[in-house]
Structure 1
Amino acid sequence: MNQMTRRGVVALSLVGLCGLAYLAWSANRGAAPAAAQVAAAPGPVVVEAASVAAFDFADETSAVGTLKAGESVVLRPEVSGRVVGIGFKDGAVVGKGDLLVAFDATIQDAEVAQARANVELARSTYRRNQELLEKKFISPQALDASGATLKVQEAALQLAVAKAEKMRIRAPFRGVVGLRSVSVGSYVKEGEELINLEEIGSLRVDFRLAEIYFGRLQKGQALEMTSDAQPGKRFAAIVEAIDPQIDPNGRSIAVRARFDNAAGELRPGMFVRVRLAFGERKGVLMVPEEAVIPGGQPAVFQVVDGKAVRTPVRLGMRRDARVEITEGLKLGDVVVSAGQLKLKPGAPVRVQQATQAKP
């Protein structure tokens, strides 16, 4: 083969390779947009959904509370002294004014006797001076002086009686005394704890409710209580007071109710469950709690024409894993109940499982 023939073969080979490269480039160029189009159009997101349903139920709420005595006090002496008498038995019922603890009041009683004698003397002097003034034997100034002396001695008597009375601790109201920690002969310092006194004929129960119930609470409203100490029994109580200030930390209302405990079935300090009924509500729109998108402004993903639509809502009460929708949805609307974390507004969805909530 001569040199010219070899050059022709090489030239033809180069032309063929260039042609094959061009064909490959053209094929890849046409396939790339198609692949990009496929990647840009992903399939719908598979979700679970539920429809908005209407419920009829009793409008009520529950809370936990603590029982407190109708009146409660820890008795402490205002002065120091030695105990000479105890007028009660542990856990006994005492009446208002009953003597509970007596301290050695020998000095105080003597001061009272002295003050009484001084009053009698001053009173006799004043009466005698009145007679002498009528007979013109003394001046009016002398009568006034004896009258002032009488008042001073009467005030001294009141002071002595008050000091002597502080040596005797009496019950400020009718109630049940606790367990004493002192005995006859004990020396008790000022302010030391002697005994607690509880009025348990009526008990108070303190509890808290969410602020959304503020407008429906009112004084005199009836409620029901249960206690683990009395299983199967229900106790009626009446709302006695509502704290006018909302707790800024927990956004809750402090409520106090009064319970008639004449039978003595409950005791202060017990834990109770409180149920407060406001009436019956009909046609309350509710969705599963898991349908609400967590965080921020309450919202749900609503399924409209096969696409996810983020819908802001206003929530109400919660019950049985459902939440009330007061604004934003209507009866029969379909919302995503599972899989919403994978969704974006406008994303196509395919409902894998739809549930219809029933009252």
Structure 2
Amino acid sequence: MRIALLLAIFACTSFAQAPKDTAKVPPAMPVKAAAARTAPAVDELGAVGTLRADEAVTIRPEIAGRIAEIRFNEGQSIARGAVLVKLDQAELAAVLASSAAQAQLDRQRLERSEDLFKKSFISQQALDEARSGYARSAAKQKEDEARLAKTEMRAAFPGVAGLRQVSEGQYVAAGTDIARLEKIDQLKLDFRIPEAFIGKLRAGQPVKVLVDAYADRVFPGSVYAIEPGVDDQTRTILLRARVANPELRLRPGMFARVQAQLGVREKAIWIPEAAIVPKGRDSYVFRVAEGKADLVRVQTGARKVGEVEIVKGLGAGDLVVTEGTQKIGPGSAVTLINQEGAKR
């Protein structure tokens, strides 16, 4: 009886221990991985802005009159000082001729008065009156010369003439819009940046300018002026850059995207973007070492197409899982496969 009982106990004990002795180790999970590489990382600030003419003015007459000549064509390149529009000068020319004749007469009277005064034939008062008369007539002549000069409207700077709003023979009042003159061989670019970046931008900072009209081209420019104050509503600061435009492709008023380089880290660490495992607000990667995948928290930095910079958490050459992250966990055994699927 005792022997039968001992055999039963031994059988039960052996049956209970059998699963432990025969338990299988989980197989290594095949995954794809890539090594972290070093390459320069460029910090860039993006903004949007508006292109403006380097110089721009609306041509307007200072006095009323009839347009006698229009000496420019719409869209024509204009040289500095070129006459653009002439008003009829007949009346003002006659007025100037009259004042010039009066000034000459008064000058002659003054010369005779000075001669007579030396000979004591006239008083000091008579001489003073002659001098005053000549001064008034000379001033009137200069005034009429100035009014006559205003009948000619000249280009204050070289530029391109816009579309005119008037015709020859038309009577125009003072201040009537005639046409625009804009200097566009070099443009200004106004854009705003958040106040947090004020310390990273300076006069002379290079910028890249992109416009929708020429999507395949990048236009270089540089910041030359920074607004002294910050906008208290948007907490941004206004910057102005110059953009060369020798081919006249860019036009004032165009919408532009601006990229400003803030700095370069020459030995930044980059990994494929697919390796990032987001968990809440944090980012993790599976780092492969000795056949196992360790979950490592990382701090990311700059991004570009398909890649992300790792500021903290990895070193150059570390292997990170790029495919298969959903099938593994911390400490999982892994086997690396190449792009063709062969194990290695």
TM range (shorter): 0.5 to 0.7
Over residues 199-245 of structure 1, what are the superposed CA-to-partner deviations in whole Å (9 max), with x where a residue is unaligned? 11211111111211101111111112223333432222121111111
Residue 190 of structure 2 corresponds to residue 206 of structure 1: yes
Range moving further from structure 2, 257-266 or 55-64? 55-64
Match of 1:259 among 237, 240, 243: 243
User: Once the two structures are aligned, what percentage of the paired residues are identical?
Assistant: 38
The 2-side partners of 1:170 and 1:223 are apart by: 35
1:323–1:301 distance in 2 versus 1, CA, 3 Å: closer
Match of 1:224 among 188, 208, 217: 208
How much has 1:248 moved relative to structure 2?
1.9
The 1-side partners of 2:112 and 2:42 are apart by: 83
- On the 8 A contact 1:126/1:147 being kept in 2, the answer is yes
How much has 1:103 moved relative to structure 2?
1.8
- On the 8 A contact 1:105/1:167 being kept in 2, the answer is yes
Which amino acid is 1:76 matched to?
R
Over residues 127-168 of structure 1, what are the superposed CA-to-partner deviations in whole Å (9 max), with x where a residue is unaligned? 122222222222233222211111111111122122222222
Q: Which residue of 1 aligns with 2:140?
A: 156
* Partner secondary structure for residue 207 of structure 1: strand
Q: Which residue of 2 aligns with 1:340?
A: none
How much has 1:324 moved relative to structure 2?
11
- On the 8 A contact 1:202/1:262 being kept in 2, the answer is yes
1:316–1:244 distance in 2 versus 1, CA, 3 Å: farther
Q: How many residues align?
A: 260
Structure 1 runs (4+) deviating above 6 angstroms are 287-290, 315-318, 320-326
1:166–1:92 distance in 2 versus 1, CA, 3 Å: same
- On the 8 A contact 2:268/2:309 being kept in 1, the answer is no
* Partner secondary structure for residue 75 of structure 2: coil
Q: Which residue of 2 aligns with 1:108?
A: 92
How much has 1:289 moved relative to structure 2?
9.2
How much has 1:121 moved relative to structure 2?
0.9
The normalised TM-score by structure 2 is 0.66
Which amino acid is 2:163 matched to?
L
Larger Rg: 1
The 2-side partners of 1:175 and 1:139 are apart by: 60
The 2-side partners of 1:278 and 1:325 are apart by: 18
The runs of 5 or more residues in structure 2 that have no matched partner are: 1-35, 270-275, 285-298, 315-327, 331-344
Which amino acid is 1:88 matched to?
F
Q: Which residue of 2 aligns with 1:94?
A: 78
How much has 1:91 moved relative to structure 2?
0.9
Match of 1:250 among 217, 234, 237: 234
Q: Which residue of 2 aligns with 1:170?
A: 154
Match of 1:76 among 45, 60, 77: 60
Matches within 5 A, 1:275-286: 275-281=259-265
Q: Which residue of 2 aligns with 1:124?
A: 108
The runs of 5 or more residues in structure 1 that have no matched partner are: 1-52, 293-299, 303-314, 333-351, 355-359
Match of 2:170 among 186, 196, 209: 186
Give the superposed CA RMSD. 3.4
* Partner secondary structure for residue 223 of structure 2: strand
- On the 8 A contact 1:288/1:323 being kept in 2, the answer is no
1:229–1:290 distance in 2 versus 1, CA, 3 Å: farther
Matches within 5 A, 1:21-100: 57-100=41-84
1:238–1:93 distance in 2 versus 1, CA, 3 Å: same
* Partner secondary structure for residue 214 of structure 2: coil
The 2-side partners of 1:85 and 1:152 are apart by: 33
How much has 1:291 moved relative to structure 2?
4.1
Which amino acid is 2:111 matched to?
R
Over residues 106-130 of structure 1, what are the superposed CA-to-partner deviations in whole Å (9 max), with x where a residue is unaligned? 2212111111111111111111222
* Partner secondary structure for residue 213 of structure 2: coil
How much has 1:76 moved relative to structure 2?
1.8
1:142–1:65 distance in 2 versus 1, CA, 3 Å: same
How much has 1:258 moved relative to structure 2?
0.8
* Partner secondary structure for residue 45 of structure 2: strand
1:283–1:172 distance in 2 versus 1, CA, 3 Å: same
- On the 8 A contact 1:289/1:323 being kept in 2, the answer is no
